[in-house]
Amino acid sequence: MSDMMLLFPIFVPVFLGAVMFLVPGKAKWVKEALLLIGTAVTLVVSILFFGKNMDFVLPWGGFGMDLSLKLYQFSSFILLSVAVFAFLIALYSVVSMKGHEQAKKFYAYMLLTLGFVSGAVLANNLIILLFFWEGLLVLLFAMIMTGGKKASPTAVKALVLNGVADLCLLLGVGITVFISGTAAMDKINLPMDFWGSFAFALMMIGAIGKAGSMPFHSWIPDAAIDAPLPFMALLPAALEKLLGIYLLTRISLDLFIFQPGSGMSIAMMTIGAVTILLAVMMALIQKNFKRLLSYHAISQVGYMILGIGTALPIGIVGGLFHMINNAMYKSALFLTGGSVEKQAGTTDLEKLGGLGRKMPITFTCFFITAAAISGVPPLNGFFSKELIFEGAAESGLVFYIVALLGAFFTAASFLKLGHAAFLGKRRTEHDNVREAPWPMLVPMIIIAAGCILFGVYNALPLNNLIQPVLGAKLGGESFAGILPASWLLAGISVGVLVLALANHFFGVKRTKSGLGAVDHIHYAPGLKTVYKWAELRYFDPYNIGMVIVGGISKVLWWVDRGIDWVYDKFTVRLVNILSLGIRKAHTGSHRLYIAWALGGMALLAVLVAVLI
Amino acid sequence: MPALFLLIPLLGVIIINLPGRKIGNRMAVWAALAVAIIQIGMAVTSGSMVWQGLAQVVSLPFGASLQIDLFTAVVLATTGLIAAMSLILDKNAENPRSLYFGSLVLVTMMGMNGVVMVRDIFSLYVFLEITAVASFVLISINKERDPLEGAFKYFVMSAVATVLILAAIAILLLTVGSVGFKAVADNLSAGGVSPQVIVALILFIAGLSIKAGLIPFHAWLPDAYSSAPPAVSMLLAGIITKVTGVYTIMRLITDVFSISSIMKTAFMVLGAVSIVIGALAAMRQDDFKRMLAYSSISQVGYIILSAGLGTPLGFAAALLHFFNHATFKSLLFVNAAAVESRSGTRQMSRLGGLASKMPITGGTSVVGFLSTAGVPPLSGFWSKLLIVIALWQAGAYFYAVVAVLASILTLAYFLIMQRRVFFGKLREGLESIREAGAAAVVPSLILAGITVLVGLLFPLVLLLMQSQGLI
């Protein structure tokens, strides 16, 4: 296999995506075929690539900006995951986007996104990485815009929030390249001195911003409502997490010397813990299927950041395992949400209920993936969470407790979601709802089955995909095994799940509905006000930022007016007054003129006298 | 050879007056033009071996007291050029006093040639007076009311200048005992500056400032420029005041005051004040030529400011601006004359939209004012750039900023002029207007061509200046 092949997963989807724009709108199945071919080819190529080592360097740019691609264990693993998700979600969207007026554009952007994500994953040069990374920002904006007119504020919001994170990445890359003197990623290994830490922090912000961590998260719940559903399953649920966590791992493991217990480690764990708790608290009270899931998409990323932030092998392995697990169950959950929306016509939980009997396969998939995200043994989420718990417990008790609280609320909110959507009394207008068509079910079933497989047989992903990433740092240790390493922590986790179940029954009994299962938390004294403010977006960093920016721009507007006034009014008036004054002074009297000349001579004499 | 620059114009005056008034009226201007062209040729070749060889064969009087260096040669050539243009422009209007005009132009030429070649203060004074007296008559040659008033003001102020300069010469003669440039300079540098010498210098500077039209010694200048006949105001603005005032100051700065930092400061202040006030005054003028007059004051300010620096680069920049200003300001005066001869007025408020009817005049005027404002790649840009660089290098940051900002004012008032005279809608009553005759178009094309060429071929000019050791 030639090293030129490395260009395939980038250029094939990008080319087909460009061709997509040329397909006439009326042509049937052509655009769907292009999408499936593009994703399938990428999938096949990435399967062939898996486990191989390849290097491709095209020195085209000068200043060290080579087009340098590198395939090794980690990038081939991420590339494969990306390709799998892209293919499954493409299959799903062929049906779910059918008849959508923006379908063609959406497919085109999807292919372009796939190509750019492949490029970012394969890039072995920070400048090239940045190129693909920023391209994804544009595509993100474009994809949300396919949601129609109402989506444009959300698209702008996503652009601004991600743009800020990307700007930080840009600065971080700039500093890193400047200090290390090279942009080749496999040659950089910087110590965490002052500038090193600064560059690391900036690049970390770029990475976790892409992954959707706080405070760059607030566009995701809005996009859940405004953007087409496959977008949510593809980007915020899967590809962005993969890409963001991939970069975070790269900078933590390779680019910088990242030590446990360092200031950066504590800062990262704090961001992770805060993201877990706040986002899951918001997820708890959501009354919309997709919006609830989107807050979990934020919350789960907190676990990965917490895990990698420990800088301990067990935490990093847990974070990476959680990344792949989350991409699986979260995209599957979004897909079940999409099925419900497609079949029942709404994702508003107040209007749903009792769909379990009408859509048994969807419900089953939901049940498995919800159990996985809640950390029910022996599903994949349980094992990755246990690894993170162990890493957190080793790094600091407070992080462990927050992570545990997050697990409790996750379980509680999924009990509520499942109960409200699939159990309870069915509404009369949903009597004729049927199961979703098979192209929508197949991806869900495959992913749900994967969740069971990765849980029961966790040695498969851990030994083959994740642990080789750390290589020598692991010291030959393996975290695989059907039984958790620490019985104590596992017991506590199961206890928390039981507590969540008890809490659910208490809430249901109290309000007599599945949707009201967490009302006693939602409307608890004190929390009630905070929740109200949060729902009013008082805490949305985007809104806060916009208020600040608005203030600044108002001040600048006045400054600008002032400068304009100085130029347009003041200067002109001053010149006019002076000019007229000088003109009037020339009366035509030669006596006056002689007087001026003599006066001038006197002044000259004074000047000379002063200078002498 | 230097004596030829005096003898040839003098001979010209005698020759054109011999055949009597009738024939004289017809041929005087052409003969004077021939003299001017000969002068250009002689000035350009003045450095060549031919003249040196000739000097050994034929010995002419005043050989020792007249000298020609590069600076002198440039000014001599410029004098010839502007005088030639002025003589051509005179053919634009029917002039019944062509004989007088031709003779007087030759006299001023002789006076100016003397001014640039002499190397002692008293002879300088004599030639200054020759030029001035001829100029008074030239301004009022048509015996009309306004020119007479203008000439009178010039005369009065010139008289003041004469008094000041003579007094200064007297004091210098008493204290130094000599009026040669070198002797005075040596005396200034040798034995500390005595109070008498200081007084003499102040009187001298004030007198020359009147001649050059530096603010606040300038008040005669707008009246004289605007009221004089077209060909005369061009000659006056383009070369006479430049030689009698500006050249003299530059020459004295380099040869006589070269040591005194006080004198330099005095000239730089005068220059900066003239730049700003001249530009401000030009802004609100309605009379086309009066506006050009104030613009001249402002541009002369640049030359004096740069020369006052006393650095070689400053002097080179001043010399270049001297030449450039002579060309583009004369160009604008030619255009003003063309407009006046066709429309019958100089009031800009009564003009408008002439560019469509007078394309050459309007077009060359754009070249002229852009060059004055210092827009690349025209000649004025380079000299102004050199001036600013020279100021900056010498650490005169404030003056450099003033010079740059005043360029904006220059552009502003010239844009106002261009819009009011040439652009915009054609004014009612001007529909039948035609392009000016060849006598106006030819000089404006020549001068605009020089402006553009010096700008475009500036690298060559720089090389030339380098080879002469100017920069």
Contact A331, A447 (CB under 8 A): yes
Residue B228 neighbours by CB under 8 Å, 6+ apart? B138, B139, B147, B150, B151, B236
B17-43 exposure pattern, b = at least 16 Cβ within 10 A, e = fewer: eeeeeeebbebbbebbbebbebbbebb
DSSP H helical ranges for A97-151: 103-122, 126-145
pLDDT, position A327: 84
* The pLDDT of residue A32: 84
- Residue B153 in contact with partner chain A when CB distance is under 8 A: yes
Of B332 and A480, the one with more pLDDT: B332
Cβ B266–A604 below 8 Å, yes or no? yes
Fill in the amino acid letter for A53.
Answer: N
Higher-pLDDT residue of A153 and A97 is: A153
User: How many contacts (CB atoms, under 8 Å) link A and B?
Assistant: 84
What pLDDT does residue A91 have? 83
pLDDT at B259 exceeding the cut of 60? no
Longest dimension (CA), chain A: 113
Contact A145, A155 (CB under 8 A): yes
Query: According to the model, what pLDDT value does residue A535 have?
Result: 79
List chain A residues with CB under 8 Å of B165.
Answer: none
Looking at the partner chain, which of B215, B262, B409 has a beta carbon nearest the beta carbon of A608?
B262
Provide the token pair at B196: 């008498």
**Token pair 């990008």: residue:** A14
Residue B305 reports pLDDT greater than 90? yes
Residue B120's beta-bridge partner residues?
A: B180
* B152 vs A contacts (CB less than 8 Å): 590
Q: Which residues fall within 8 angstroms of residue A44, CB to CB, at 6 or more apart?
A: none
Phi-psi region of A259 (alpha: psi -120 to 50; beta: other; left: phi over 0): beta
The residues, ordered by sequence, that sit 6+ positions from B380 with a Cβ below 8 Å of its Cβ are B321, B324, B325, B328, B370, B371, B372, B373, B374, B451, B455
Least confident range from A538-547, B326-335, B360-369: namely A538-547
Confidence check: pLDDT of B262 > 80:
no
Tokens of B328: 């583009």
Distance CA(A97)–CA(A439), nearest Å, equals 12
Q: Which residues, including other chains, have CB under 8 Å from residue A589's CB and lie 6 or more apart? A: none
* Chain B residues within 8 A of A595 when measuring between CB atoms: none
Residue in B220, B261, B280 closest to A593 by CB: B220
Which of residues B1 and A305 earns the better pLDDT score? A305
B63 pLDDT higher than 60 = no
Instruction: Kindly give the residue spans of alpha helices, DSSP state H, lying in B260-396.
Output: 261-283, 288-308, 312-343, 359-373, 379-393
Give the 3-state secondary structure of residue B249.
Answer: helix
Average pLDDT of span A331-342: 84
Distances (CA, A) of A357 to A421, A423, A455, A480, A508: 11, 8, 27, 37, 20
Binned at pLDDT 50, 70 and 90, residue A384 comes out as: confident
Question: Is B283 in the A-facing interface, judged by CB distances under 8 Å?
Answer: yes
- A608–B203 C-beta distance less than 8 A: no
Structure-block tokens of residue B416: 């106002």
Q: What is the DSSP letter of B311?
A: S
User: pTM value?
Assistant: 0.63
How much of chain B, in percent, has pLDDT values that exceed 70?
95
3-class SS shares of chain A: helix, strand, coil, % to 5: 75, 5, 20
Residue B275, pLDDT score: 93
**Crossing angle of the two packed helices A263-284 and A289-309, in degrees rounded to 10:** 160
- CB-based burial label for A612 (10 Å; 0-12, 13-18, 19+): exposed
Residues A340, A346, A347, A353, CA torsion sign: negative
Confidence of residue A214 (pLDDT cuts 50, 70, 90): confident
pLDDT at B449: 94
Q: Which pLDDT band, with edges at 50, 70 and 90, does A1 fall under? A: low
Mutate: best of A572, A578, A589, A604, partner B, most B CBs <10 A: A604
Under the banding of pLDDT at 50, 70 and 90, the label for residue A515 is confident
Note the Cα B258 to chain centre separation in Å: 23
Which chain B residues are within 8 Å of A571, Cβ to Cβ? Answer: none
Q: Which of A92-96, A235-239, A402-406 has the highest mean pLDDT?
A: A402-406
Query: Within an 8 Å CB–CB cutoff, is residue B293 touching chain A?
Result: no
* A245 compared with A537, residue with greater pLDDT: A245
List, for residues A339-365, the tens digit of each pLDDT value: 888 888 888 888 877 777 888 888 888
> pLDDT tier at B163 (50, 70, 90 boundaries)?
very high
Give residue B417's Cα distance to chain centre: 22
* Cα-Cα end-to-end distance for chain A: 88
From the list A458, A436, A316, the residue with the least C-alpha distance to A388 is A316
Q: Dump strand ranges (E) for A196-292.
A: none
| HEC per residue, A532-574 | HHHHCCCCCHHHHHHHHHHHHHHHHHHHHHHHHHHHHHHHHHH
**pLDDT tens digits, A417-473:** 888 888 877 777 777 778 778 878 888 888 888 888 888 887 777 777 777 777 777
List, for residues B407-463, the tens digit of each pLDDT value.
988 998 898 888 888 888 888 777 788 888 888 899 999 999 999 999 999 888 888
ipTM comes to 0.84
- Rounded to whole angstroms, the maximal C-alpha distance in chain B is 70
Across the interface, whether the CB atoms of A597 and B216 are under 8 A apart is answered: yes
Residue B258 pLDDT > 70: no
Task: Say what the pLDDT of residue B59 is.
Answer: 62
- B257 touches A: beta carbon within 8 Å: no
Alpha carbon of B449: minimum distance to chain A alpha carbons (Å): 33
Closest by Cα among A394, A393, A375 to A384: A375
CB A331 within 8 A of CB A89: yes
Q: Check residue A297 and give its pLDDT.
A: 84
Distance from CA of B95 to the nearest CA of A (A): 28
Please report residues of A whose CB lies closer than 8 A to that of B210.
Answer: 597
* Region of residue B231 (left: phi > 0; alpha: psi -120 to 50; beta: else): alpha
Residue B156 near chain A (CB below 8 Å): yes
d(CA B150, CA A593): 13
Residue B280 CA to residue A570 CA, distance in Å, equals 15
Percent of chain B with pLDDT over 90: 34
The predicted pLDDT at position B104 comes to: 92
Angle at A228 between CA A223 and CA A231, to 5 degrees: 75
A484 has a pLDDT exceeding 70 = no
Taking the C-alpha atoms of residue A43 and residue A331, their distance in angstroms, rounded to an integer, is 17
- Using an 8 Å CB-CB cutoff, list chain A residues near B192: none
SS3 call for A269: helix
Task: List chain B residues with CB under 8 Å of A594.
Answer: 156-157, 160
Per DSSP, the residues of A16-81 read HHHHHHHS-TT-SSHHHHHHHHHHHHHHHHHHHHTT--EEEEE--SSTT--EEEEE-HHHHHHHHH
Residues 401-460 of B with CB under 8 A from A: 409, 412
CB-hemisphere CA count at 13 Å for B470? 22
Which residues of chain A neighbour B266 with C-beta distances below 8 Å? 604, 607-608, 611
A588 close contact with B: CB closer than 8 A: yes
d(CA A368, CA A332): 10
Neighbours of B15 (CB within 10 A): 15
Mean pLDDT of chain A: 84
Q: By CA distance, what is A580's nearest residue in B?
A: B284
Query: Mutate which of B202, B211, B274, B408 to test chain A, going by most A C-beta atoms within 10 A?
Result: B202
Torsion sign across C-alpha atoms A343, A348, A350, A356: positive
> CA A445 → CA A427, A451, A532, B425, distances in Å?
26, 10, 38, 80
Among the residues of A423-567, which ranges form H helices?
Answer: 438-456, 459-461, 467-470, 487-511, 519-522, 527-535, 541-564
Q: Mean pLDDT across the stretch A268-279?
A: 89
Q: Comparing C-alpha atoms, which of A392, A390, A379 is closest to residue A276? A: A392
**A519-535 residue pLDDT tens:** 777 787 777 888 788 77
CB atoms within 10 A of CB B57: 6
Structure tokens that stand for A587 in this block: 């009366």
pLDDT at B55: 67
How far is B282 from chain A, CA to nearest CA, in Å? 7
Q: Dump strand ranges (E) for B27-141.
A: none
Would the CB atoms of A579 and B219 count as touching at under 8 Å? no
Q: Which residue in chain A has the smallest CA separation from B200?
A: A605
Testing the interface with B: which of A571, A573, A577, A579 to mutate, by most B Cβ within 10 A?
A579
* pLDDT of amino acid B323: 92
Mean pLDDT along residues B247-258:
83
pLDDT in tens, B68-115: 888 888 899 999 999 999 999 888 777 778 888 999 999 999 999 999
CB proximity B264 to A under 8 Å: no
Q: Is A579 in contact with B281 (Cβ distance < 8 A)?
A: yes
**Structure tokens, A564:** 């304009």
- The C-alpha atoms of residue A474 and residue A313 are separated, in whole angstroms, by 6
pLDDT of residue A197: 87
pLDDT at residue A64 tops 80: no
Q: Cα separation of B380 and B364, whole Å?
A: 14
| Torsion from C-alpha of B317, B319, B325, B331, nearest 10 degrees | -130
Q: Which of B261, B282, B284 sits opposite A576 (nearest CB)?
A: B284
CB-based contact, B152 to chain A, within 8 Å: yes
Contact partners, residue B463, CB within 8 Å, separation at least 6: none
